[in-house]
């Protein structure tokens, strides 16, 4: 308030209208002047503010389009050489210059979806627990911040934990089952990824579950529903589209995760035959081979892998949006 007052004084001092002797006229003129000035000023900042927002929005769009086109341009030699065969060929041979992305596309999709399935088992109960049972209090805050912390852990640390804690466990399981004791492979990578993506689906799930209107729940309770029935028949159907949206967001993260996956997936360029077999993902091939890639075709094939990853991610996001919208309409 104090600052506003002083500001008023300075405004008046700036426009004292000394030429007019008639104090009433001067007063009216000063008022008009101030009003015009205020309107001009507020109008200016309003419109420029809107322009800034508009510009930022356009920037995001332009960036995305620019990324897409630079990927297309840089991968053009590979596109011209291999055509659609790039997606159906399963040989990746940098020595002979034959490049096919099929094993990596398959590996990426299997690992990501498997991770998604694993993560739902933990993230859905967590979001129900935090969204419905313990919405506030010490325990709830503690768990909430732990989940946020999960998202902040660098992925290389997940990779190390996977390599030194999870891999021996998977290996002993493989020995039990009489399989090759690799330890690393699709299962290990999916398990590590599933933990990494929990924060995304869990925090959005918690948010939408806590937004379910109290009236609905109370109505169900008044009809004699148990808590489990309320969750199953009221809360989950109501929050369904939000929960699915959260899961899809985490899928986007899973598809592009590089470091942790590279460390535990086994990096073997074959189409996997079981969930124990070593595999490879689009992102990890790029990370592994880009630094040493020489030759135009090799480089552009690696960039085309990036383009494929970009398209797969976009496709899944669009599909997800459609699914979420359908679900939203049903509710």
Please select the residue that binds other proteins; options are 162, 246, 272, 278, rule is CB under 8 A.
278
Torsion sign across C-alpha atoms 127, 128, 132, 137: negative
CB of 294 to other proteins, least distance (A): 5
CB of 194 to other proteins, least distance (A): 21
Residue closer to other proteins by CB (options 39, 233) is: 39
Please select the residue that binds other proteins; options are 183, 199, 205, 306, rule is CB under 8 A.
183
**N residues, the chain:** 331
Identify the CA nearest to 250 among candidates 124, 133, 162.
124
Identify the CA nearest to 235 among candidates 195, 258, 205.
205
Which range of residues in 186-194, 215-223, 294-302, 314-322 is near other proteins by CB under 8 A?
Answer: 294-302
Please select the residue that binds other proteins; options are 94, 252, 256, 320, rule is CB under 8 A.
94
Identify the CA nearest to 189 among candidates 124, 268, 120.
268
Contacts of 227 by beta carbon, 8 Å cutoff, 6+ apart: none
Q: Give the end-to-end CA distance of the chain in Å, rounded to a whole number.
A: 48
Helix (H) / strand (E) containing 226: none
Please select the residue that binds other proteins; options are 41, 233, 325, 326, rule is CB under 8 A.
41
Q: How far apart are CA 175 and CA 242, in angstroms?
A: 41
Residue closer to other proteins by CB (options 184, 245) is: 184
CB of 66 to other proteins, least distance (A): 21
Write out the residues near other proteins by the rule CB under 8 A. 3-4, 7-8, 11, 34-35, 37-39, 41-42, 45, 91-96, 163-164, 167-168, 171, 180-184, 262-263, 266-269, 278, 280, 284, 287-296
């Amino acid at each position: 308030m104090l600052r506003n007052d002083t500001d008023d004084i300075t405004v008046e001092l700036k426009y004292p209208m000394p030429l007019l002797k008639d104090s009433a006229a001067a007063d009216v003129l000063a008022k008009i002047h101030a009003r015009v000035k205020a309107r001009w000023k507020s109008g200016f900042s309003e419109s420029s503010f809107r322009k800034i927002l508009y510009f930022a929005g356009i920037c995001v769009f332009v960036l995305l389009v620019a990324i897409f086109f630079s990927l297309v341009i840089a991968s053009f030699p590979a596109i011209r050489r291999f055509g659609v065969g790039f997606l159906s060929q399963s040989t990746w041979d940098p020595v002979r210059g034959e490049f096919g992305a099929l094993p990596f596309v398959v590996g990426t999709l299997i690992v990501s979806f498997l991770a998604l399935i694993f993560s739902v088992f933990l993230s859905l109960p967590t979001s129900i627990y935090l969204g419905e049972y313990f919405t506030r209090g010490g325990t709830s805050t503690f768990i909430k911040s732990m989940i946020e912390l999960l998202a902040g852990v660098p992925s290389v640390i997940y990779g190390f934990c996977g390599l030194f804690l999870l891999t021996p466990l998977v290996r002993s399981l493989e020995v039990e089952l009489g399989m090759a004791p690799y330890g690393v492979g699709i299962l290990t990578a999916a398990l590590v990824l599933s933990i990494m993506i929990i924060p995304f689906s869990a925090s959005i799930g918690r948010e939408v579950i806590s937004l379910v209107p109290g009236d609905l729940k109370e109505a169900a309770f008044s009809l004699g529903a148990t808590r489990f029935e309320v969750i199953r028949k009221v809360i989950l159907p109501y929050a369904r589209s939000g929960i699915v949206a959260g899961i899809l967001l985490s899928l986007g993260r899973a598809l592009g995760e590089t470091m942790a996956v590279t460390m535990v997936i086994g990096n073997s360029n074959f189409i996997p035959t079981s969930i124990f077999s070593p595999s490879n993902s689009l992102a990890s091939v790029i990370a592994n081979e880009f630094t040493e890639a020489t030759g135009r075709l090799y480089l552009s094939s690696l960039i085309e892998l990036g383009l494929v990853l970009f398209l797969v991610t976009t496709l899944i996001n669009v599909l997800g949006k459609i699914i979420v919208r359908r679900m939203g309409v049903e509710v």
